[in-house]
Amino acid sequence: SNQSGFDMYCPTRIHSENEPSCYMGHPRSHLILYSFGVLKFCTALGGGLVKISDHNLHRKMSEIYRSDPIQNTDQYLSNVKKYFYLYWILNVPYVIKPLMYIIRLFKLDHMGYVVNNLRAFSKVPSKEELFLSLRRQPCRPLLAFLYQRFQAYDYTQLDIQRERAFYVLNNLVKISTIQLIGMNCKLKNFWLFPLVVAKPDLFVQILSKNHIDAYRGTTQLNVITTVLADTTDSIDNCHKCPNAEYLIEHVIYLPVHCHVPKQVLKKLINIVSKTAQQIEQYHLRSKL
């Protein structure tokens, strides 16, 4: 195709709040990144786009990009197979139900296994390995898949996602011990459903006992000041980021998405509310 990546991504160039799927980033941003990894709504099981505002910088980056090696097709095929099997295991009821019974019986860390396999890097690579793997042009199957997703993506899935998320949100907003994140954002697509709680480990543990798999980690996110604090570099108070550190240390993610039935979400709301009350009672008793 002679179309640019962004013409395919947003063919109608709609920028209104009624169609946030074509949001092209803040107009003052110098660099805007779009990811199409396995966990994204419009996934191509890899790949991404970069929007560069400066023409000269775009030209220089394009020259470097054209000299990068092309991604190995076999590697992409291997990733597609891995994600297919994970999707099959996680979404077929007669497979996942007995499997979850065994996992809970033996108290296995299934969340860690799934998250590690969904990541682009199952183990933390060295700096050299990281940049070598990033500096690749996408292979033809990945480009074909990405093109197909742009042309055939069902945007009603986003409407369902928002509807389910707002249903949960409106039922949790009155709980004083739970802090909701991103409520002032103009565009809310609820790619994730994060909550900030005072005792995240205990919260996730109680939810797990009630068969709700909330996730505690923040994948590869980190606060740079916490990394520097472990080095010889001293950080003065004006450069510390206490709010960001608190958020990352206390955030949990609930399994709220468009494929979860309403009756299951109703059960989730009830369990989350009871868990918040239970932990608050623990806290009050500890003060007595």
What is the tens place of the pLDDT at every residue in 229-285? 555 556 677 777 888 888 889 999 999 988 889 999 999 999 999 999 999 887 666
Dihedral-angle region of residue 253 (phi above 0 means left; psi in -120 to 50 means alpha; beta otherwise): beta
- Residue with tokens 């399994």, as numbered in its chain: 255
Residues 247 and 280 in one domain: yes
Residues 181-196: what's their mean pLDDT?
A: 87
Instruction: Between 3 and 213, name the one with better pLDDT.
Output: 213
pLDDT above 90: residue 166:
yes
Tell me, yes or no, whether 167 and 245 share the same domain: yes
The answer on pLDDT for 108 being more than 60 is yes
Domain span at residue 247? 154-288
* Residue 87 and residue 167 share a domain: no
At 218, the pLDDT band (50, 70, 90 cuts) reads: low
Closest CA to 30 of 56, 3, 65: 56
Instruction: Please count the residues of the chain.
Output: 288
Q: In which band, very low, low, confident or very high, does the pLDDT at 90 lie, cut at 50, 70 and 90?
A: confident
Same domain, 90 and 31: yes
- 43-52, 91-100, 228-237: the lowest-pLDDT one: 228-237
Tell me how crowded residue 223 is: count the other CB atoms within 10 A of its CB: 19
Which domain-ending residue is among 153, 176, 198?
A: 153
**Domain shared by 9 and 141, yes or no:** yes
The CATH number for 264's domain is 3.90.1150.10
Number of domains in the chain: 2
Residue closest to 16 by CA, chosen among 164, 187, 191, 190: 187
Task: Give 49's contacts (C-beta < 8 A, 6+ positions apart).
Answer: 5, 6, 9, 33, 34, 36
